[in-house]
Structure 1
Amino acid sequence: MRNLESTPKIYVGTYSQYNNGSLFGKWFDLTDYSDLKEFLRDCHEFHRNELDPELMFQDWENIPDFLISECSLHKEAFTYFEAIGEMDDETAEAFEIYCKQINYWPSNGYELDDQLDGFRESYRGFFGGSMKDPKLEYAYQYVEETGLLSGVPSALEKYFDYEAFARDLFLEGYSEYEGHVFTDY
């Protein structure tokens, strides 16, 4: 994992104890486990005082909502954490946005590798720089990278409407979420 502040953790109690007015449980650091089976085995061991403990995830930190609910953790969660552990914070944030708001993983049925491939094809970068308008900042970069105005006399180039061009780019073909830009195709 990247650091202690971004470590995925779950506070695990049981429904039986909760229904009896107790919040007894324990915080489990998911970086201590290699997979879901190992994590659940440790949770059941911690709650071994109950005959058949029904685990309740009462709180969690640094786990996207699409991977967890009150009673389950997605089987691909550990693979997801491993993948984002290899990314810088900005890219990991963008991948979470991609999974949550663009390509709806894991409910889309894709394997994580396929989701990562789609993300790499779609993600254009973070544009939250000095312009304060990610769409406009991306439009400037797009024009420069594609050479859209190459060959245009510099006297005419200054009349190019970057704001209108940015608006049109993001009407069809591109999306922006919290400064992160993605292609829509």
Structure 2
Amino acid sequence: MTNLQNCLDSCSIYVGTYQKYNNGSLYGKWLNLADYSDYDGLIEAMKDLHKNENEPEFMLQDHELCEIFEKLGLIGESYISKDIYEIAEQINDSGYDIEVFESYVDCVGKMDFQSVYDGVMNYYIGEYSDDETFVQELCENDTPYNLPSYICIDWEATARNIMFDYFESNGHYFRS
């Protein structure tokens, strides 16, 4: 299994055509993106599936687990970006799970992939169970010496104050 397949393994699209749909047919097939080495291979499979139509207009009637691609505008009802395989490869090569990229987009909103990639690479801190745990580790790593055990810190209040400079989604933390 290649790195590229890791990101695309769970991404499937149901491919029909507008002509069939307009004629009352939902005929199509689920295609797993990882089964094709590149965009051209995927398009050839789509054409082969609907070879009984002259220049079929593809309709992506459903998709599974392609949330990041949808959020980035790479996949929609009648569109799949030719860049999807290159982007999947960049995600795989980044060393981070696709979930980190999805969380970043949740925090900052829709933008081009290069901005998302740069944001993850520059601002991702890590995964934590809650704000207090994140802030406690952040502060303890930032303190040049061990604090005496008799000092008590209100981590909940400290987290409220510090979180103005950070954002979080699904347990993934990023610097603002």
TM-score bracket for this pair, using the shorter chain length = 0.7 to 0.9
> Could you list the per-position Cα deviations for residues 90-133 of structure 1 after superposition, in whole angstroms to 9, with x for gaps in the alignment?
73211122134425233xxx53xx532320221111112xxxxx
The one-letter amino acid of 1:164's match is: A
Normalised by the length of structure 1, the TM-score is: 0.79
Partner residue of 2:97 out of 91, 107, 123: 91
Name the counterpart of 2:86. Answer: 79
Q: Distance in 2 between matches of 1:76 and 1:3?
A: 14
Q: Does the 8 Å contact 1:11/1:58 carry over to 2?
A: yes
* 1:47 Cα offset (Å): 0.8
For structure 1, the 5+ residue unaligned runs are 129-133
Q: Distance in 2 between matches of 1:2 and 1:36?
A: 16
Q: Does the 8 Å contact 1:9/1:60 carry over to 2?
A: yes
Q: Does residue 174 of the first structure (1) align with residue 166 of the second (2)? A: yes
The one-letter amino acid of 1:20's match is: N
Q: Does the 8 Å contact 1:98/1:104 carry over to 2?
A: no
Normalised by the length of structure 2, the TM-score is: 0.82
For structure 2, the 5+ residue unaligned runs are none
Percent identity over paired residues: 34
Q: Distance in 2 between matches of 1:60 and 1:40?
A: 16
The one-letter amino acid of 2:118's match is: D
What SS class does the counterpart of residue 136 from structure 1 fall into?
helix
The one-letter amino acid of 1:78's match is: Y
Deviates more, 1:23-32 or 1:74-83: 74-83
Q: Which structure would you say has the larger RCO, counting Cα contacts within 8 Å and 6 or more residues apart?
A: 2
Summarize the alignment of residues 8-19 of structure 1 with structure 2, pairs less than 5 Å apart: 8-19=11-22
Name the counterpart of 2:77. Answer: 70
Count of matched residue pairs: 168
Q: Does residue 147 of the first structure (1) align with residue 143 of the second (2)? A: yes
Q: Distance in 2 between matches of 1:102 and 1:161?
A: 29
* 1:87 Cα offset (Å): 6.5
* 1:44 Cα offset (Å): 1.4
Name the counterpart of 1:162. Answer: 155
What SS class does the counterpart of residue 99 from structure 2 fall into?
helix
Q: Does the 8 Å contact 2:106/2:169 carry over to 1?
A: no
1:175 and 1:101, CA in 2 relative to 1: closer, same or farther beyond 3 A?
A: closer
1:81 and 1:151, CA in 2 relative to 1: closer, same or farther beyond 3 A?
A: closer
Runs of 4+ displaced beyond 6 Å: none
Name the counterpart of 1:44. Answer: 47
* 1:13 Cα offset (Å): 0.3
Q: Distance in 2 between matches of 1:22 and 1:153?
A: 72
